[in-house]
A and B are shown apart, each in its own frame.
Chain A
Amino acid sequence: MRLSVQKTTGTWQLGDMEDIHVTLLRQAAEDASMTDCPEGRARMVPSPVAAKDELREGEFLEDWSEFVTEDLENQFAEDVGTLLADLDGLETFTLEEEPDEERYRVSIPLDHAMAWFSALNQARLMLDQRFVLHPAGQEFEPHPDPDTVKGLDFSERFTAYMRYEFYAVVQEWLVKEVLE
């Protein structure tokens, strides 16, 4: 599997991608969805106060829910939309030495980098919640205590973790090379 990421003037480019990379990047939008995952939604728009203070802060929390939560959800949805829109600009090409292998590249404006980071982060946060990738905050274990991953298919959980790691690779590069 090849993939190159590089920063150019005014843009950053994901290049030398194979079908699998493109599929994974498009999958990030689906992975980021909060639909049918209340735990994930709670993680994406968490309480601004500690649990012990929630009773005392009732009125503040109502205002927060009304004015901040919706804004954040809209912002996060826009970020995913930016990633998908940028992926619509994919170009295909072939290498001389491998004329039968179609490859892909996409140039993304530098000022979309934060939206891409956000979309990939949303995907990772939701995958973590849906597939219990870090039970009790611990490192990922392919074969954890069965009670902690009850009802989850081993193969689906493992491939979710592979996507989670792929998104992290792109994110790490974005932090070091573009966001800084």
Chain B
Amino acid sequence: MPSIATPDKQTLVETDPSVALDSPWHVIIHNDPVNLMSYVAHVIRKIFGYTDKEAQRLMLQVHQEGRSQVWTGRREKAEHYVRELHGHQLLATLEKSD
């Protein structure tokens, strides 16, 4: 609970850790048996702007480990990316970092 001190008063700012804007959030892509591997790599590259090599690595991680953390950052942006991934019919969630 951070405090902001002023000369004549003290204001306490309560921050809900689940919605703090500066808390990092992860975007996770989950494996599914339907989406083509080539398509998953294509979507990762298209949405996040990663290199072909990085997109392939993340796609293989999804395929082999069942999920891959493909991006970390502000919640608002994470929500945007999850919406984009759903629009491309990939299974994706946002998760707060530990």
Which residues of B are at the interface with A, using a C-beta cutoff of 8 A?
18, 28, 31-36, 38-39, 42, 79, 82-83, 86-89, 91-96
Contacts and interface: CB of A to CB of B under 8 A. Distances in A.
Contact of A172 (B36, B86, B94): B36
Q: How many A residues are at the interface, by size bracket? A: 20 to 34
A47 B93 contact: yes
Nearest to A164: B34
B39 A175 contact: yes
Given A46-B91, A48-B94, A137-B31, A168 B42 contact: no
B34 A125 contact: yes
B89 A48 contact: no
Nearest to A75: B87
Nearest to B88: A118
A128 B33 contact: yes
A130 to B, nearest CB: 12
B33 A134 contact: yes
Given A118-B89, A121-B89, A122-B89, A48 B34 contact: no
A53 B95 contact: yes
Given A171-B36, A175-B38, A176-B38, A68 B83 contact: yes
Interface of A: 43-50, 53, 56, 68, 72, 75, 117-118, 121-122, 124-125, 128, 133-134, 137-139, 168, 171-172, 175-176, 179-180
Contacts of B28: 50
A175 B33 CA distance: 17
A68 B82 CA distance: 11
A49 B34 CA distance: 20
Nearest to A171: B36
Contacts of B95: 49-50, 53
